[in-house]
Structure formats: C-alpha cells, structure tokens
Amino acid sequence: MKQRDKIEIVVDMREPTEMIGELEDMSTDECEVIVRRDTLEIGDYVVSSDIAFERKAFPDFLHSAFDENEQHEKGYLMRQIADLAREYRKPALILEGAELLDLYTLRPGIHPNAIRGKLHAVACGFRVPIIPTMNLHDTAAMLVTAAKKAQLVNRAGKPSPHGKRSHLSLDEKQVYLITAIMGIGVDTAIRLLGHFKTPQAIMNATESELMAVHLVGKKTAATIHEIVATDYKP
C-alpha cells in the first residue's frame, strides 16, 4: 500500500483563520496538508525552502499601495515586495478578487493608471510574478498546488520562513537602494534610474534636476535632496 504523501505550508499568524480550514480541507486520501502557523517577518505563506507568497485581497492591495500603515509608512507594499524578492529565490504576489475591474473601481479616488503603475512596479521592477485568484478558496488551492509541485515533484525541501535569496541582480539592487529612501516607490525609482542612469547621479542631482523626471514632484525631490544633503545628527 502506497504511503500517504504529506505537504507542509507555513502560514503567517495574521492571515485569516478561515484560510487554515480551507487548506486543511484540501487534504485527500493521497496527500495530507499540514498547516503550521508562525509569525512571518516577510511574506504570508511559505511552501518550500525558496518559495514564498504575499497575499493581497483587492482592498488590502490598494491600502498597502497608497495608504499608511500603523508605523505611518506610506505605500508599504513596495517595501514588502522588495523584502520578499530579497529573501526568497522564487517570490510571488497573490492578488485575490473576483473581477479585475473591481480593483480599478473599488476606490474612485485612485486613478486606474496609478494602480496599473503599482502592478507594473511589482511585476517588472522587482520581477515578482502576480498570480490572480478569485477568493480565499481559490488562493488555498493555488498554495496547495504550489506546495505539491515544490515538495513532492521538485523535492525543493520543507518550508523555511528564513529562506535567503542567493543574490539580486545589479539593477534590482539599484532599484532597492533607491526605494529605501522614504516616500520613493519602485515606479519612481525606475523612472529616476532611467533618467540619471546611476544611483550616484540621483544623489548628486539638484531638486530642479530631479523634478525634470516625469511624475517626480517637488515633495519627492525635496525628500531625496534633504536625505542626501543633510548632516547626520545622532
């Protein structure tokens, strides 16, 4: 008699409790789904030693892309994606919602092109794939599929919440460096690098030179100039 396969998925403690039931209900006679809850500093789900997912339902995606968190960090989605790309060799963003049109109409005050810019930044700036799912059940099915492929087929190893990406490419490191400046998102960092070519040139630019870049306003230019030109005061 064939031994029952087992897969393990690590789930962040802040994810909805309903997800645990959804995942466990996907156990079959052939394969048991084991769920381990943990406090993950990076990502929401880990399915192997090098694969992790950030999950965003539409409202959460918009909030994290355009609003502040409890630490008054605006647009913290880009930081989350940067961390995910840095720590895991195969990161992905799960974008959860029934109809893509809902993403563009949920918050009338946010222009659809601004949302498209964030999606482009995730997929092209950080090269993190975006996987659409319809609802929590569909997300659970995607996670189980990914875990089976990684653990049973590719033998990639058990989930590791502390997995490290071996390296970032030079252009990814440059984008990550610029996004580390407060208030600078990936899309803006890509525009700045495209215009000035190097991070050093960005740091040496005047405010007026920074504002010559498309969609870089006075506030962003002033933030960059203040950080690079102000004396350090511990």
Single out the residue of 223, 129, 213, 147 nearest to residue 183, CA to CA.
223
What average pLDDT is seen over the chain?
87
The percentage of the chain sitting over the pLDDT mark of 70, rounded to a whole number, equals 94
Q: What is the pLDDT of residue 124?
A: 86
User: Could you tell me the residue ranges of all domains in the chain?
Assistant: 5-153, 170-229
Q: Which residue has the higher pLDDT, 70 or 206?
A: 206
Order of strands, edge to edge, in the sheet holding 51-57? Answer: 31-38, 5-12, 45-46, 51-57, 90-96, 130-133
Quickly state the pLDDT bin for 190 (edges 50, 70, 90): confident
Question: Which CATH number does 170-229 carry?
Answer: 1.10.150.20
Residue 107 pLDDT exceeds 80: yes
Question: Which CATH number does 5-153 carry?
Answer: 3.40.50.10130
pTM recorded for the entire structure = 0.71
Residue 167 pLDDT exceeds 60: no
Helix (H) or strand (E) segment spanning residue 54: strand 51-57
Q: Give me the amino acid identity at 86.
A: R
Residue 27 pLDDT exceeds 50: yes
Angle 201-206-207 (CA atoms, 0-180°, nearest 5)? 125
Q: What is the pLDDT of residue 165?
A: 45
Mean pLDDT throughout 111-124?
89
